[in-house]
Amino acid sequence: MSYTLTKTNGNILTTVDEASLNVTTSLTFVGRNYSGYGSVIDQNFVYLLENFCNLIPPINPVQGQLWFDFGSRQLNVNYDGKDFKAVAYLSTASIQPASLNAGDLWWNGTQLAICDGVTYDTIIGPPANAQSWTYDTANYLNTNLLYNTNPVPVMVIASSIDANSTQNLNSIPAFVPAAGTDLADADFGGGIVKGITLAGTDINGSSIASGYYFWGTASESLSSNTKLLEASDNNNYYVTFASTTTGSLPLYSTSTFYFNPSTNVLNVTATAAYYADLAERYAADTSYEVGTVVVIGGEKEITITNTVGDMAVAGVISQNPAYMMNSGAGDDQTHPYVALKGRVLCKVTGSIKKGSSLVTSSTPGYAQKYSGMEHARAIFAVALQDFEGSQGVIEVKI
């Protein structure tokens, strides 16, 4: 008797026939009643123990599989079920590592660098001239200004843009450095505010007079005019589009794409979606896996099917709905999306041919081929794939 292996996400990996060896993946799966299975299983353990250590990647990999490249001495991970990517190696040595694999990282004690395959010259950060100080406001602030009655330590992180120092403060109110301190001497005598403050700021943190582009006061931050739309507002507001993803971004709109607050309707001529089904959230009596066939009934709105040809069939639990109706009703645990129309994965049992009509079965959550004995109104889907076996998952059209 054959058995089916599934991945962690519930998708079918392969079916292992009785008294046979299955080499669908990099490991060999042993069927029931296969003679001499011990050596096969032990060999699988060796492959897993050494992460398929070899000069070439293992054949038939699965997503998430590890492979140790013996040549580069580097661990790799399969990211898409086909190809492997190297896992970056992080060195904390005091001198540059001898390994020059592109993507490797090196922390030299003060900065993090990434290898381009030749050198570690590309620095990720922090900047070489970054500094930080803790200022005791009792000693470093003018006594007639802020904090003069309740001094507290102030952490200041300093960096630079070109030749102009900036200061980044950790969410504290504005203050003015005392005369003769490092901050005051660095042209911050006019005051420092929360956020980013450039040299040459005034008492309010403004750098307009200095000609710098960024400053710390909220009234002078980069902003745009905004307005909260009211439900009673019976006007059309047009959605804008950018003509490019980089550089200057001219905005455009069209008369066929707009939103009306009073009707709460978004108007478009046509829409397109990457996924392939229309689904709606329904209250379920428990959490169900993707592909489970459900019917109207149970303690909530839907429950799992367990009757052949049930005409109360609601649909199939969807994995990635293209159109999500009633989306605010709950989450995937309490109110899963039930596919009502389109292409979805569906649990099936028994022999099925592509094009077969499907009805509910006595196996909980599974569909079966329409035999003609059930009422025609019980048909809820058409198989898009052949299936031979006890139980599995195929694509169907609802």
- Sheet with 66-69, edge to edge strand ranges: 66-69, 74-78, 84-86
pLDDT at residue 154, rounded to an integer: 53
CATH number for 277-397: choose from 3.40.250.10, 2.40.300.10, 3.30.2320.80, 3.40.50.720.
Answer: 2.40.300.10
Res 140 pLDDT > 60: no
CB atoms within 10 A of CB 99: 14
pLDDT at residue 220, rounded to an integer: 47
- Identify any residues that bridge with 122 across adjacent strands, giving them in sequence order: 114
pLDDT at residue 396, rounded to an integer: 97
Q: pLDDT tens-digit profile of 84-110?
A: 988 878 888 888 888 787 888 898 888
Mean pLDDT to the nearest integer, 253-269: 89
Confidence of residue 133 (pLDDT cuts 50, 70, 90): very low
Q: pLDDT tens-digit profile of 156-214?
A: 555 554 444 444 443 455 667 767 666 666 666 666 666 666 667 666 656 667 665 55
Q: In whole numbers, what is the pLDDT of the chain averaged over residues? A: 82
Whole-model pTM: value is 0.43
Q: Domain limits of the chain?
A: 3-49, 131-220, 224-271, 277-397
